Structure 1
């Protein structure tokens, strides 16, 4: 294995309806329905496992068939799955409507169960052991604000690097109290704007805007436009490869986080790590699944040949 990573956060069911023709708002649209296990943390965890990492996943789950489906997917991916199971509750769900070009129309997130992942659960012996045994900690903003802060605090006490996935503009604000302790924050432009109250046209402004509110390192994606990344005073932009055949954009940001972290854990500099992340995201959007079922270190290396070099800003 290439390293150990502990992931805490969303592991639930993704339901996606894909519109077959042109989208007609306020009307019935012909299309197809598809569901699979998903969640920001869980998608990243499966990507990391496919790339050869030893992954432990901790998340709340209901005692229902959907929870069993998530557990089975974790086993298939080779993840050490350690859920908190609430037998009398349902597993969270994410329901999205996708246009025929793969872009999101609207989504509904039923994530009530995640509020039961309270900070005191981090004090359970096996959870403390999982923190102590890992090389890197990743969590997502599906978790409550005080739990996110407790995860970051525990990581800092142990001297472990920690990264976070923003999930959505509504949820990223939960990370405000602990932003300064997060080593790498993965977010899109809308989520970044929710943090700073601005959305600059000049991509080079993002490092200073986010740095002013305490973000020490981040990767801000902007769809098919240049992404921007920064850490320790070093900033860069990267044009992600543009795929002619986008199947579904679901999970692209999660795979970018996983690909970037995988490279960082192997000692790659930030400019190379984000190339790996962009390659992983490009492979994901070519698949109808939130995690490309064919992802492997070899396939990722092949996709890297289509990713240009990063442009250093400072």
Structure 2
């Protein structure tokens, strides 16, 4: 298994579950749940439970929420190397969800991440970790200057760089670094923010994003088709419908995690995307942004039992930027 250095968001997820369908401008009954989350952290926990050696570098405050994040990292078997700001609060993400698990709205209190300078990341200790890693995985929560410095450091070492977009507002922080990215996992809104316009069909995403400088990535669209592109190949696949959707939070991070697990094993694009879809389905069928019972055996079982994608959305095409 691979040695992975993960840098980015590891914070608190608060989810408000509505008991009835949402009514705008009204008091809606429901309940709150609190747990650790964050794009980078979700992917880190998934990859650690799939057997990879994962080191996490994430900013957090000097509060009880930071202890919750640290415990979640320990539970997943992650080496936790926090950047601690003792006088600040750990970032949080608060989401309101429909009874069926779909997102109504969310509030991201992430101001701490904007305070992380590139120099705080590229210490001699972190450079040693970069030198030992086989993959650098970063989300878009940190400032643009810090992300650019990490991309340059990875590029200089020939280290593959995977990125989780996080949001349309934050993914554009990578614009100057897109040629240095190996895989960028994003949804259609985030892809449109990078490309400057919406694709008419899923098959158009690789060409639009190549014009922006990106050569490899994943573009998802809720329950719609997922586009994967790498090394001149394009694959569009329609995920099979779930019998029961429980919670969509973390499903995109799981898609990226499963895909990267396949890439690290040297699999072809078809197998890698299938792994990503299978892990996303496992995650969306349970509560929480990650599955505490995830293991290679569970993913193998999900892969074996997953219905085949629709034939019209499962062909590999050659793509020339």
Per-residue CA deviation, residues 171-197 of structure 1 (Å, 9 max, x unaligned), is: 111111111100000000011111122
Instruction: Verify the 8 A CA contact 1:278 1:307 in the aligned structure 2.
Output: no
Q: Which residue of 2 aligns with 1:312?
A: 316
CA distance in 2, matches of 1:255, 1:272: 15
Task: Check if 1:201 corresponds to 2:223.
Answer: no
Aligned partner of residue 71 in structure 1, secondary structure: helix
* Structure 1 gap segments, 5+ residues each: none
What displacement does 1:250 show?
0.2
CA distance in 2, matches of 1:78, 1:146: 30
Q: Which residue of 1 aligns with 2:174?
A: 175
Instruction: Verify the 8 A CA contact 2:199 2:208 in the aligned structure 1.
Output: no
Q: Which residue of 2 aligns with 1:34?
A: 33
Per-residue CA deviation, residues 103-131 of structure 1 (Å, 9 max, x unaligned), is: 11110101011112211123312111111
CA distance in 1, matches of 2:258, 2:307: 13
Aligned partner of residue 54 in structure 2, secondary structure: strand
Aligned partner of residue 152 in structure 1, secondary structure: helix
* Structure 2 gap segments, 5+ residues each: none
Instruction: Verify the 8 A CA contact 2:16 2:32 in the aligned structure 1.
Output: yes
Aligned partner of residue 313 in structure 1, secondary structure: strand
Alignment map for 1:208-247 (pairs within 5 Å): 208-247=207-246
Per-residue CA deviation, residues 46-74 of structure 1 (Å, 9 max, x unaligned), is: 00011000000001110000001100110
CA distance in 1, matches of 2:200, 2:213: 21
CA distance in 2, matches of 1:12, 1:265: 26
Per-residue CA deviation, residues 51-100 of structure 1 (Å, 9 max, x unaligned), is: 00000000111000000110011011100000011111100000010111
Q: Which residue of 2 aligns with 1:79?
A: 78
What displacement does 1:307 show?
4.9
Q: Which residue of 2 aligns with 1:112?
A: 111
Aligned partner of residue 67 in structure 1, secondary structure: helix
Instruction: Verify the 8 A CA contact 1:275 1:307 in the aligned structure 2.
Output: no
CA distance in 2, matches of 1:220, 1:111: 24
CA distance in 1, matches of 2:286, 2:155: 37
Q: Which residue of 1 aligns with 2:49?
A: 50
CA distance in 2, matches of 1:312, 1:99: 36
CA distance in 1, matches of 2:121, 2:84: 15
CA 1:190/1:46 → structure 2, altered by over 3 Å: closer, same or farther? same
Instruction: Verify the 8 A CA contact 1:55 1:80 in the aligned structure 2.
Output: yes
CA distance in 2, matches of 1:92, 1:206: 32
Aligned residue pair count: 313
Q: Which residue of 2 aligns with 1:138?
A: 137
Q: Which residue of 1 aligns with 2:20?
A: 21
CA distance in 2, matches of 1:111, 1:308: 39
CA distance in 2, matches of 1:108, 1:313: 39
Q: TM-score, normalised by structure 2?
A: 0.95
Instruction: Verify the 8 A CA contact 1:103 1:249 in the aligned structure 2.
Output: yes
